[in-house]
Structure 1
Amino acid sequence: MMKMAPSLIAIAMAAMGATAAHAADDIYFGAGAGAAHFNGLNKIEGVKNGEENAAAANAFVGYNFNEYFGSELGYQYAGRGNTDGNRYENQGATLSGIARLPLGGDFSAFAEGGAYWAHTDGMGTSDTKVSPLAGLGVTYQVNDALDLQARYRYMWDVADLHADNVRYKSNQSVATLEAVYHPFRSSYVAPAPAPAPVVVEEAPAPAPIVEKNFALNSDVLFAFGKDSLKAEGIEALNSLYQQIVDFQPKDGSAVVVGYTDRIGSDAYNQKLSEARARTVANFLVSKGMAASKVAVEGRGEANPVTGNKCDGVKAKAQLISCLAPDRRVEIRVSGVQVVQQ
């Protein structure tokens, strides 16, 4: 039965292979270790000493349909207990659906429900059956390629053993710490750096004091999903600030507006757009603009530049690239004197 693990992983890879070409960035692999508990093993009639706790391990392959739902196929070794020194061992295949809830930052929680096809050896006999499975867990994303997570599972009616007029029906629980590898999630290729900030000229006004708009691509300023400036982002803002200085501001004020793409929840995108706008505003203040003259707005995924251009894109990496124009920071400066050409 210990040879089951490689076979299960091979079956899982074959089963997922049909969809891999269309959404390879949603496939992941994982393994973990922890502890198992066999309920009531030391309470069997005639057993003087039963060891209910044992070491456990698992391996699995999963597929995410989106950021909220997925499925997993895996192998679980629930450990080896004993009854009066005799081996009691349980292992098998798991198939479950996963429901995930982002918690903010790099954390998420998940729940699972499914089936456990288990083989049990003990009390001089054995049993194989399919049992219901439920679980809960918490995941921390270390980087694009690696997650760490803790998982707890409970399985009902795992075995029904009969020996010497004694019957034992087993429920069991398993807790594991797991590492999850996303081989394709790190394959995202950032779009080519955008050109220098574009100045959108307003229609000429008779008065010498007008309003100027500047737009900066967020992929130049920030890493995906982050609100701290990259090195090239600082260079772009230095260039933009010099353009503002060259226009000779007169009692100038600025409104910094952040936008995101539509990936992620509304609340997350609103928070990220505000944080990015605030980062740019703080930079302008550090260069000399009065803090009282700089306002900050976050508009989340509102007013997308791409419209419906990316509606047919399904793969996450391609969708991120397609929606790049929507991720931007706009700066509206008032009281800027027009430079005569």
Structure 2
Amino acid sequence: MKKTTLALAVAIASITSVANAALPENTWYVGGKLGWSKFYDTNSNRVAGTTDVSANNVGGGAFVGYQATPYLAAELGYDWLGTVKYEGQQDGKLTAHGASVTGKASYPLSFIDDNLDIYARAGAFIRTTQWKVDGNKSSDTSVSPVYALGFDYRLDQDFSARLEYQWVNNLGNDGPTRPDNGLLSLGITYSLGSPAVAKPSELVLRENRFVLNEDVLFTYAKADLKPEGKAALNELVATLIKLNPSESAIVVIGHTDRIGSNSYNQKLSEERAKSVMNYLVSQGVPADLITARGVGKSQPVTGDQCNALKGADLIKCLAPDRRVEIEVKAISVQEVEVTQQHKDNTK
């Protein structure tokens, strides 16, 4: 590949400490949801002479999840499914709620929006159903299957919105049918991030910095790698392997130009850095030694040379600002352990 197309430059310099960025993997999150709950197959032998059944309610819940990979997560949740009210010769009420343990598989819908995912959940619902008929109460606890299909939309770095339809099958075994429940809800999730691991900056021996033009890697304003971008990264992987990445820390840093808001550019730079990081990992770079972060438009290299330009000319002039930098910091693992032990002994 031509150097002008690859836009790859290497510089060796002394370094200072660099903050770690949270990975898309190993991330905890919490959330809540609220919506419309409807019960199905509500006939029951417990209530005699039923003339009317009210099976529509407000339902909702809360959940905590662990994002193991960009595509797979596990969730533990609590759902309040509401009540079914019976009127007739007797008055009765069925209440259902419980805890769920589910696996969640997601797939990005980047052809619609870079921030949109579709997902499915499936698992077990440990439910409690409570009956109250003419003042007499009874309850039952058992396990039912639960399924869900929904969409996640990333609002910013920490928050996402969720639209979901959940189905709980067989909430009880009473009478001629077993009640089921469908819950259509809107939810919000908050990312708790992943724990940062401090690296002793004084142990960094050298830094190799690779700078790749983002126009080679991505379509303008997008975060999905182009085929020529993957080809450029394939060349870079061979270089990284020669630098012995098993004893190095690799940091992928995304930069944008100044067009657009601070929040938009920060988000885009983070997503592009993560796309590069994930591809390098898929090609054999150790996942535990590479991190990604974005700095938005805060570190331009074009200065004021593009100030008089507009439109397509401005976009072309600002191309050097749209870049991904890959820092390879050679670190001796043994030195890290010895120095850290020395620090602990002198506290």
Contact residue 148 and residue 178 of structure 1 kept, 8 A:
yes
Please give the root-mean-square deviation of Cα atoms over the aligned residues, in Å.
3.7
- Alignment gaps of 5+ in structure 1: 1-20, 190-214, 219-226, 228-255, 261-266, 275-297, 330-341
Cα distance, 1:314–1:23 mapped onto 2, change above 3 Å: farther
Are residues 1:327 and 2:324 paired? yes
In the other structure, the counterpart of 2:55 is 52
Between 1 and 2, higher relative CO (CA 8 Å, sep ≥ 6) is seen in 2
Q: 1:258 to 1:132 in 2, by over 3 A?
A: closer
Larger radius of gyration: 1
Which residue of structure 1 aligns with residue 286 of structure 2?
A: 312
Residues 98, 110 of structure 1: 8 Å contact kept: yes
Change (3 A) 1:313 1:47: same
Pairing 1:141–2:154 present: yes
Could you tell me the TM-score, scaled by structure 1's length?
A: 0.53
**Cα distance in 2 for residues equivalent to 1:23 and 1:101:** 14
AA partner of residue 145 (structure 1)? D
Matches within 5 A, 1:1-341: 25-41=26-42, 46-84=49-87, 85-104=91-110, 105-124=114-133, 125-161=138-174, 166=175, 168-184=177-193, 216=211, 257-258=216-217, 268-270=224-226, 299=231, 301-304=233-236, 306-307=240-241, 309=245, 311-314=285-288, 319-320=291-292, 327=324
Identity among equivalent pairs (%): 22
Distance 2:131 2:224 in 1: 51
Question: Which amino acid letter does the alignment assign opposite residue 327 of structure 1?
Answer: V
Q: Which 5+ residue runs of structure 2 have no aligned equivalent?
A: 1-21, 199-209, 251-284, 295-322, 327-347
How far 1:24 sits from its partner (Å)? 8.2
Cα drift, residue 168 of structure 1 = 4.7
Q: Distance in 2 between matches of 1:177 and 1:169?
A: 27
- Distance of aligned partners of 1:23 and 1:139 in 2 relative to their CA distance in 1, 3 Å threshold: closer
- In 2: Cα distance, 1:59 partner to 1:35 partner: 15
Normalized against structure 2, the TM-score is what?
0.52
Cα 1:80/1:259, change in 2 over 3 Å: closer
Contact 1:38 1:173 in 2 (8 A): yes
CA distance in structure 2 between the aligned counterparts of 1:300 and 1:186, rounded to whole angstroms: 31
User: Cα distance, 1:303 vs. partner?
Assistant: 2.0
Task: Give the letter for the 1:93 counterpart.
Answer: A
Q: CA deviation at 1:58?
A: 0.7
Please give the alpha-carbon distance, in whole angstroms, between the structure 2 residues aligned to 1:27 and 1:111: 18
Task: Return the alpha-carbon distance in structure 1 between the equivalents of residues 183 and 30 of structure 2.
Answer: 19
Distance in 1 (alpha carbons) for counterparts of 2:124 and 2:28: 21
Preserved CA contact (<8 Å) 1:100 1:111? yes
Contact persistence 1:42–1:48 (CA under 8 A): no
- Measure how far apart 1:173 and its partner are: 1.0
Aligned-partner Cα distance in 1 for 2:23–2:231: 32
Structure 2 CA distance for aligned equivalents of residues 24 and 268 of structure 1: 18
* Pairwise CA distance, 1:160: 1.9
Counterpart in 1 of 2:258? none
Paired residue secondary structure (1:122): strand
